Amino acid sequence: MSWKLVIHGGSGSMKRGGLSAEADELGRAGLNAALDAGQAILAAGGSALDAVEAASRVLEEDPCFNAGRGSVLAYDGHVELDAAIMDGRDRRCGAVAGLKSTRAPISAARAVMEQSPHVLMSYEGADDFACEAGLEQVPNRWFVTAERRRQLDELLAQGANAFDADIKYGTIGAVAVDLDGHVAAATSTGGLTAKRWGRIGDSPLIGAGTYADDRAAAVSATGLGEVFIRAAAAHELCARVRMTGVGLQEALDGVLGEVKALGGNGGLIAVSPSGEAAWGFTTPGMYRGMAGPDGRCVAIYGEESER
């Protein structure tokens, strides 16, 4: 049995030449740092659950990605954070939505899983629970960057009903299998720029944007959350593997095709208990990386070599 770690930093309209050289370099550096964090755990015999949390924490702290610090801004100018984590051994899971002050949303999701009888907590209650669990709290302005403020202003200038679905799906995620053959998945996001009315996407919804099952795979999604919810995308991928016996990549491609048929775009990453890994996306690019005993790769654009 060998370990494997796959991560994503969001899918979207990234094309070669569309990002500045600095943005390209910083994005790749962030992916490599996240792989470093997860690899250190897995290579030493640690759990897939610890690895996906560690990799996600790195991406949440990196302002290049739409999760944690650097998240997009809601309509009224503040940040709302969603996250979920799931352990494939027994399908325990935890999720949070609408956090405004918890620095590490993915760790808050794990605290819900391990320190409460619940699966999903939201808004003020979720922040209160995270605080009681000993997780660091910060002012909401800590998450805000000048670039995200500029993006909000640009979108609002287009009118009250402007929607950022064509800009970038900046969710981050990680899936892993450890030396014992157990899988885990984690997903974290700031959602959509200018979101309103307490909108929640697929990332914190178990079975939609996040799922892990030792009988099949661990999955994390990025894309137009409303459609990934309708497709129950993460669970659907696992169900195809478990119930039909198709390969992981074939199952992933099939689910992305269903999402596209429903009018959505985005990407998926997955890993199986045997160490098979897969990813795919229907957008021009997706920040992504993979590491295992045989090496690693990181990529952003669709035409890049992926293995």
The mean of the pLDDT values for the chain is: 93
- Please report where in the chains the tokens 């894309």 appear, as a residue: 223
Position 255 confidence tier, pLDDT thresholds 50, 70, 90: very high
Active site residues: 171
| Nearest alpha carbon to residue 67 among 75, 58, 76 | 58
Is residue 24 in some structural domain? yes
Instruction: Say what the pTM is.
Output: 0.94
pLDDT score of 133: 97
Work out the average pLDDT over 2-17.
Answer: 88
Position 122 confidence tier, pLDDT thresholds 50, 70, 90: very high
Say how many domains are in the chain: 1
Whether pLDDT at 165 is above 50 = no
pLDDT score of 34: 98
Is residue 26 in some structural domain? yes
Is residue 239 in some structural domain? yes
pLDDT score of 307: 43
According to DSSP, the residues that pair with 219 across neighbouring strands are 211, 270
Cα–Cα distances in angstroms (integers) from residue 213 to residues 88, 94, 183, 241, in the given order:
4, 14, 7, 11
Helices (H), 116-232: 123-132, 146-156, 225-230
pLDDT score of 305: 57
Rounded to whole angstroms, the Cα distance separating 71 from 188 reads: 10
CB burial string 21-41: b at 16+ within 10 A, e below: eeebeebbebbbebbebbbeb
CB burial string 77-88: b at 16+ within 10 A, e below: eebbbbbbbbbb
Is residue 257 in some structural domain? yes
Work out the average pLDDT over 64-90.
Answer: 95
| Nearest alpha carbon to residue 211 among 175, 265, 170 | 175
Rounded to whole angstroms, the Cα distance separating 195 from 205 reads: 17
pLDDT score of 13: 72
Query: What would the pLDDT profile of 230-249 be if each residue is shown by its tens digit?
Result: 999 999 999 999 999 899 99
Is residue 105 in some structural domain? yes
Rounded to whole angstroms, the Cα distance separating 74 from 80 reads: 7
CB-count burial class (<10 Å; 0-12, 13-18, 19+) for 201 = buried
Position 16 confidence tier, pLDDT thresholds 50, 70, 90: confident
pLDDT score of 23: 86
- Read off the CATH number of the domain in which 89 is found: 3.60.20.30
Rounded to whole angstroms, the Cα distance separating 61 from 102 reads: 12
The residue type of 96 is V
Work out the average pLDDT over 146-156.
Answer: 89
pLDDT score of 166: 47
Is residue 106 in some structural domain? yes
pLDDT score of 164: 54
| Nearest alpha carbon to residue 193 among 66, 282, 287 | 66
Backbone angles phi, psi at 4, to 5 degrees: -155, 140
Is residue 306 in some structural domain? no
The one-character DSSP state at 16 is: T
Whether pLDDT at 60 is above 50 = yes
Query: What would the pLDDT profile of 201-213 be if each residue is shown by its tens digit?
Result: 999 999 999 999 9
Work out the average pLDDT over 264-269.
Answer: 95
Rounded to whole angstroms, the Cα distance separating 222 from 270 reads: 12
pLDDT score of 154: 86
According to DSSP, the residues that pair with 288 across neighbouring strands are 8, 299
Domain range holding 133?
4-301
Is residue 307 in some structural domain? no
Whether pLDDT at 12 is above 70 = yes
Q: Please give the radius of gyration of the chain, using alpha carbons only, rounded to the nearest integer.
A: 17
Q: Are 9 and 65 in contact (CB under 8 A)?
A: yes
